[in-house]
Amino acid sequence: AQSVTQLGSHVSVSEGALVLLRCNYSSSVPPYLFWYVQYPNQGLQLLLKYTSAATLVKGINGFEAEFKKSETSFHLTKPSAHMSDAAEYFCAVSEKGTYKSIFGTGTRLKVLA
């Protein structure tokens, strides 16, 4: 069965500091992995996705994530946080041939001036 664990429901960073949001997954077959972002009072939108083409995936707004099979991880990073990055971030997993995406519980990122 698929599952996703996001460590840290709240993360605070200073503006200009490194952003690191953690995601570990469980899947019986090679997974597809996603990061979605939710700004206040909005729906979720895709930040980036891993589809086995490359282990380092670049997304929008300067975010990237690295797939590490040995660690079953797909952590999200950004070198320098901006105030506009304040949002809730969700990691999700799905398997090829299925229509279900399983979401983590989310990490709320706060950026301090």
CA nearest to 27, candidates 108, 112, 100: 100
Is 74 among the residues that bind other proteins (CB under 8 A)?
Answer: no
* Rounded least distance, CB 81 to other proteins, Å: 23
Contacts of 87 (CB under 8 A, 6+ apart): 37, 38, 39, 40, 108, 109
Say how far apart CA 48 and CA 57 lie, in whole Å: 7
Taking residues 10 to 39 in sequence order and writing x for each that binds other proteins by CB under 8 A, - otherwise, the string is ----------------------x-x-x---
Return the number of the residue (45 or 80) whose C-beta is nearest other proteins.
Answer: 45
Contacts to other proteins by CB under 8 A: 9, 32, 34, 36, 41-46, 49, 51-53, 90, 94, 96-106
